Every structure is written in C-alpha cells, then in structure tokens.
Amino acid sequence: MAAGQWRNWAGTAIANPLRWHRPNDPGQIAEAITSAERDGYTVRAVGSGHSFTPIAVAEQVAIDLSGWSGIIAAETRSGLVTVRSGTTLRALNAGLATLGLALENLGDIDAQTIAGAISTGTHGTGARLGGLATQIEALELVLADGSTVSCSATERPEVFNAARVGLGALGVISTVTLRCVPAFVLSAQEGPEPLEQVLDGFEQQADANDHFEFYWFPYGRKALVKRNNRVPAGTAPQPLSALRQYVEYEIMENRMFELLCRLGRAVPPLVRPLNQLSSSVLSPRSYSDHSHRVFVTSRTVRFVESEYAIPREALGEVLGELRRQVPRLADPVMFPVEVRVAAADDIWLSTANGRDSAYLAIHQYVGMPYRSYFDLFESIVGAVGGRPHWGKMHSLDDERLRERYPRFDDFRRVRAEVDPAGRFDNAYLRKVLGPRT
C-alpha cells in the first residue's frame, strides 16, 4: 500500500502513485478499485513496465498484479487455458510446455505480463497470424464499480471487442482464457541478404513462411532475415549448442552490441561505420527448437522504440522513403529497423484491424538523440495511414487516431458505459482517447 516511484523498462515514463495495491485474488482487485473510488482517485493496473509510452502510468492508485500469477485451468484437448492476468509470458510459456501446449505466435521477448501484452496489442510476425489478443477466447474484468464481468465472442461481445486490446481503459483484467495449440518445434533460418533482394521478394517470402521478418541497418546494404517455420509433429529439435548460444546471443548480440552503442553514443561520427560493421558481421545460422525458445530473444541493451502498422502493400514505398531520408538526418541512428507482418483481425483497437499489415519498428540507443528520427518516421508512415503500437512511442492524439480506426468511437462508447467516471484514466489515455463526452 505504500507509495513508491515506478519507472518503465526504457526509462521513458515515471510515476509516483499515492498508493500501491498488490492483490492476490479478484476480491482484492475489486477492493483496490472501490477504495480508490471512495477516495476519488484514478487507478491503473501495472504490468511489467515494458511499454515505452506512459500508458501504464498510475497517477494516484497503482495495482501491481505480480502476485496474481499462474495457470488456473487448462483443457488440453481444446487448448483452452485460463491464466491469471499478472502471469508473465515467460511463466506462461513454461507452464504451457508442461501441458504439451504453446501460444501460436509470440513477440520477441517474454518479460511482459499477459494482460499488459494484450492490452497494448503486442504481436509477433506471421502473415497468416494475428497478435496475442487474437488468441483470446474470453476475458474476465473487474470494472470501475467493483463488479466482475466475463466477456467472449458470445457473452457481452462489445466489451470483448473493446477489451481485448483495451489499453487498460475499461477495467482491470483478472483472467484471460487463451486458445493454445499443441506444442510445436520451429526451424529457424537466419542470415544476411542484400536489402534489394529482400524487398523484391518480400510479399512472396511473407506468404511462404510461417514467421518472416527482417532487420535493416540504416547505413548498411544488407538485411538480417529470419524465417521460422513449423516442422512436422514429432521432429526432435536441434538447438544451437549452449556455447554457441552464449557466444552469439549473450556476447555478440548483447554485450558486443552494447559496447558498439556506447562507442557510437560517445563519438557520433562513428555511428555510420559501426552500423555498417554490425550489418556486415552477421553470420547465417540455422537450428530448431521449441517454439517459444525460437520466438523469444534476450534483450539487455536498452533502447527507445516507435512502431507503426501500415497496410502491407505500402511497405516498399515506406522503406524506400526511409532509405532516402534517414541518411540525411543530423543525428545518426545506431539500431536497425525491424519489419514484421500480421494478418488482418477484427479487434477494434488492434493495429491490424481490418487490414493485412506490415509492422515497422524503429529504435535508438538510450541517451542518443532520437526526436528528429522518430518525427521523420511518423510523417512517412502517417502518409499511408500508419497506426502506432499503443505501447511504443508516438505523438498521435484522438483526432488523428479516430481517422485510422474505423471502430474508434465504438471503443469510446463502450468505455463510457463501463467506466462513466473515468476511474481508469491517465494522461496518455486522455490524449489518445480524447475528452469524455
């Protein structure tokens, strides 16, 4: 209950809530909300703090759900698994593995809580697959008046459509029921390829692979391409040796890259050659492993990030514009651009709502100037109707977002119905959802 400062992973958001609650059951979640109501305070649920935007900032009362974790129920035949909202993806993946199950698709880290991840539209890559929220069968939420509602495609479907990517704006999610799949092994093929070739083959490659993505270092000519595909059931995984994993992931991709970033931050004229070096030393590797071990990577180098979903067919135009303009920026860029894909879905505030999407994520090493780069990026992706990831840095307000989401006002309407007094407000929501009517 004591006050205490909170900051997010990237250090881009800080909160000083007046009090904290760490509930261990839905009754305590309800009590935290109703006591805030009695005192006239706003409330935010806090996940692992891995959003770059101030979306999780609790201005008055914070609810930390780390004590409300674990799998509650699992039906291995149907794959339906109900999980407490504070469960991290790491714990969830481990728990599912013991049941012979897995999530169909994942992003590239596993530190997030399940509720935090779905609430911002967290996604991985795969042209036939959606983000994590598309894998939800049902949700249970504690609302502003302390009551609990269940929702699914057939039970309170409007709340379901809003709450799957709900920005923490409708209530506190207490449980999530996920549609899981039998555990599977992915074969991973990774290696550098000329960027031109990757762009020419992008549409075909995105369709031909279960999970296709690439990283482009802005001053290099090569892209690091990753193709992950399911292998037939029963095939034994052939992971990289522990030594190779240590050398390539921990030493090269984290510690060495961190050193290069520090050098670039201290001596900016070195950034271009260092960036070219980073892209030229990439070596190919192929292995296979249990799906979550292939999806998830270790990320110890801190960065700031913005990511937009654009109509998939606009990727060539957008990347072409970035290639022309990024080299002209006064402040050089240390990190690569990440490109992923996802299938269209029907979730109201999902970045892939109604359209097959390509995701472009841009990053900069912490402590290096990024404003002009991120502004340039937003103007380029904005020209093709780009939609920002709710958990990654962007400058859009409700007026601009309304133009990009056909169901934006439906979301606001459902929110007004379930939280008429704005119990779950914070400054970020006031900006992106606009004033209450």
Ligand X SMILES: Cc1cc2nc3c(=O)[nH]c(=O)nc-3n(C[C@H](O)[C@H](O)[C@H](O)COP(=O)(O)OP(=O)(O)OC[C@H]3O[C@@H](n4cnc5c(N)ncnc54)[C@H](O)[C@@H]3O)c2cc1C
- Using rule CB under 6 A, residue 205 touches ligand X: no
- Pick one of 119, 187, 275, 350: the residue that binds ligand X (CB under 6 A): 119
Encoded amino acid at 199, one letter: L
With beta carbons less than 8 A apart as the criterion, state whether 358 and 314 touch: yes
Encoded amino acid at 18, one letter: L
- Using rule CB under 6 A, residue 220 touches ligand X: no
- Least Å from the CB of residue 390 to ligand X: 7
With beta carbons less than 8 A apart as the criterion, state whether 124 and 352 touch: no
- Contact partners, residue 246, CB within 8 Å, separation at least 6: none
In terms of Cα–Cα distance, which of 123, 85, 86 is closest to 104?
A: 123
| Burial of 80 per CB tally in 10 Å (0-12, 13-18, 19+) | middle
3-state secondary structure of 292: helix
x-marked contacts with ligand X along 294-313 as a string, rule CB under 6 A:
-----x--------------
- Using rule CB under 6 A, residue 36 touches ligand X: no
- Cα 204 from Cα 347, distance rounded (Å): 26
Q: Smaller CB distance to ligand X: residue 174 or 275?
A: 174
- Least Å from the CB of residue 46 to ligand X: 5
Encoded amino acid at 95, one letter: G
- Using rule CB under 6 A, residue 112 touches ligand X: yes
Q: Smaller CB distance to ligand X: residue 51 or 357?
A: 51
Query: How is residue 235 annotated by DSSP?
Result: P
Q: Smaller CB distance to ligand X: residue 123 or 292?
A: 123
Q: How many CB atoms lie within 10 A of CB 398?
A: 16
Q: Smaller CB distance to ligand X: residue 115 or 272?
A: 115
- Pick one of 23, 26, 54, 116: the residue that binds ligand X (CB under 6 A): 116
- Using rule CB under 6 A, residue 130 touches ligand X: no
Q: Smaller CB distance to ligand X: residue 109 or 199?
A: 109
- Least Å from the CB of residue 241 to ligand X: 25
Structure tokens belonging to residue 304: 């700031």
Q: Locate tokens 């967290």: which residue?
A: 122
- Using rule CB under 6 A, residue 51 touches ligand X: yes
- Using rule CB under 6 A, residue 115 touches ligand X: yes
- Pick one of 56, 71, 139, 261: the residue that binds ligand X (CB under 6 A): 56
- Using rule CB under 6 A, residue 65 touches ligand X: yes
Site for ligand X in 166-195 (CB under 6 A): 167-168, 172-173
3-state secondary structure of 225: strand
- Cα 171 from Cα 33, distance rounded (Å): 9
- Pick one of 43, 55, 304, 333: the residue that binds ligand X (CB under 6 A): 55
Distances (CA, A) of 29 to 20, 64, 168, 251: 11, 10, 14, 42
- Cα 304 from Cα 57, distance rounded (Å): 17
Longest dimension (CA), the chain: 61
- Least Å from the CB of residue 281 to ligand X: 22
3-state secondary structure of 315: helix
x-marked contacts with ligand X along 132-171 as a string, rule CB under 6 A:
-----------------------------------xx---
- Beta strands across the sheet bearing 387-388: 285-290, 185-194, 222-230, 211-216, 337-342, 357-365, 303-311, 387-388
- Pick one of 49, 146, 264, 388: the residue that binds ligand X (CB under 6 A): 49
- Using rule CB under 6 A, residue 17 touches ligand X: no
> How many residues make contact with ligand X (CB under 6 A)?
32
- Cα 207 from Cα 39, distance rounded (Å): 53
Contact stretch for ligand X (CB under 6 A) within 114-122, 240-248, 321-329, 376-384: 114-122
- Least Å from the CB of residue 83 to ligand X: 11
Q: Smaller CB distance to ligand X: residue 52 or 287?
A: 52
- Pick one of 23, 47, 79, 218: the residue that binds ligand X (CB under 6 A): 47
- Pick one of 42, 60, 69, 85: the residue that binds ligand X (CB under 6 A): 85
The DSSP element (H or E) to which 175 belongs, if any, is strand 172-179
Name the site residues for ligand X (rule: CB under 6 A): 9, 44-51, 55-56, 65, 85, 107-109, 112-113, 115-117, 119-120, 122-123, 167-168, 172-173, 299, 389, 391
